[in-house]
Amino acid sequence: MRTTKRFTPTVLERFRKEGRGTGIYAEYIPWHRVSRGDPASLGRSHLLNWRGRQRELLSDGELIMTLFVTMQPGIHDLREQFPLSLKTAHHEMCDYYPGSISQGFPGTQDIADQLGHKHPKTTGNGEAAPWVMSTDLVLVLQQPNGRLELLAIAYKTAEELKSPRKIQLLEIEQAYWQVRNVQWLLITPNQYDKRVGLALRRIAPWALDIPAPENVITLVANTVQTLPEQSLTSILRYLSNVTGEMELSQRALWQAVCLGYLPIDLTRGWRPHLLLKCLDQPAFLAQNPIVMRRTAWT
């Protein structure tokens, strides 16, 4: 059971002293963490190991968004529970290219004032302090020319979007990234097929496990695409004869899917007897709201 019951100015100051929200790649420390010392999140929290670091996700929705992110071509880095600067600060890209952008950019307090919204705050022990807003996921994508760019993602349920105050906070968040020329997506369950999200959760143990050898992944992808449509059970049995090992075949199959080498219909159910159906690349990519840059924000 977590010991801290609520956010207070003292808790936020502890976060700063711990270096929360700083670092890149495997050294990044999320602003909000799944730990005993943090106030509990409203949703169900998850820990996900990916690329040398444990990802700390505060809801089922954030978990599914992160699984979609792992399929994003050119993914270079991912920082979850990313804190937004309260005051004027450097551009977030300077974390990767120090000094590359000399100008400062407004923080959430200035943006809230410009929009005419009250900035959120927290209180406790007779003290008050501005609340540190955060974005659920901040991606760093590497373009074909080698240039890095940011993509910010917020996840909200349809119920949350019924709150006028929540909309105000999202307007502050959207404007924060807009002034930095960073695309910001608002994802809700309406932007993707629930069946696809469930499929990604089911295959994640294999897809995010120890990477299979590249030649095996390619072999599996090419082999499956030459086979007639048949059940997952039949395909895995066939692949185990090709690779010599069922567990390796499972990993290689789902890693080939998530890498985009084997585009399949992810709306299929979990039952092994159901057909594994291949799709063309555009139809496969259309299943991923982040790849397609779908957003609920208008």
Question: What pLDDT, in 10s, does the model give residues 22-70?
Answer: 999 999 999 999 987 787 777 789 999 999 999 999 999 999 999 999 9
| Lookup: tokens for 262 | 């084997």
Are 36 and 156 contained in the same domain? yes
| Lookup: tokens for 132 | 């540190």
Last-in-domain residue among 165, 191, 217: 191
pLDDT > 60? residue 156: yes
Q: In degrees, to the nearest 5, what angle opens at C-alpha 133 toward C-alphas 1 and 155?
A: 80
Are 45 and 177 contained in the same domain? yes
So what's the pLDDT on residue 223?
A: 97
Is 295 part of any domain? Answer: no
- Say how many C-beta atoms besides its own lie within 10 A of residue 171's C-beta: 16
pLDDT tens column, 188-213: 999 999 999 999 999 999 999 999 99
Last-in-domain residue among 160, 191, 222: 191
pLDDT, mean over the chain: 94
Its domain, for residue 254, covers 194-285
Q: In degrees, to the nearest 5, what angle opens at C-alpha 170 toward C-alphas 176 and 130?
A: 70
Amino acid identity of 232? L
Whole-angstrom distance between the N-terminal and C-terminal Cα of the chain? 40
Is 120 part of any domain? Answer: yes
Are 33 and 69 contained in the same domain? yes
Last-in-domain residue among 139, 166, 191: 191
So what's the pLDDT on residue 280?
A: 96
Are 218 and 100 contained in the same domain? no
Is 297 part of any domain? Answer: no
Are 166 and 40 contained in the same domain? yes
pLDDT > 70? residue 2: no
Are 177 and 234 contained in the same domain? no
Are 262 and 247 contained in the same domain? yes
pLDDT > 60? residue 1: no
Are 247 and 187 contained in the same domain? no
Is 294 part of any domain? Answer: no
Are 220 and 73 contained in the same domain? no
Q: What is the CATH number of the domain that holds 28?
A: 3.40.1350.10
Is 150 part of any domain? Answer: yes
Are 71 and 209 contained in the same domain? no
Task: Give the count of domains, the chain.
Answer: 2
List of residues 6+ apart from 271 with CB closer than 8 A: none
pLDDT tens column, 64-102: 999 999 999 999 999 999 999 999 999 999 999 998 898
So what's the pLDDT on residue 5?
A: 61
**DSSP code, position 61:** H
pLDDT > 70? residue 8: yes
Are 253 and 205 contained in the same domain? yes
Is 209 part of any domain? Answer: yes
Are 280 and 246 contained in the same domain? yes
Is 141 part of any domain? Answer: yes
So what's the pLDDT on residue 100?
A: 86
Average pLDDT over every residue of 241-247: 96
| Lookup: tokens for 75 | 């993914």
Is 293 part of any domain? Answer: no
- What CA–CA distance (Å, rounded) separates 69 from 138? 10
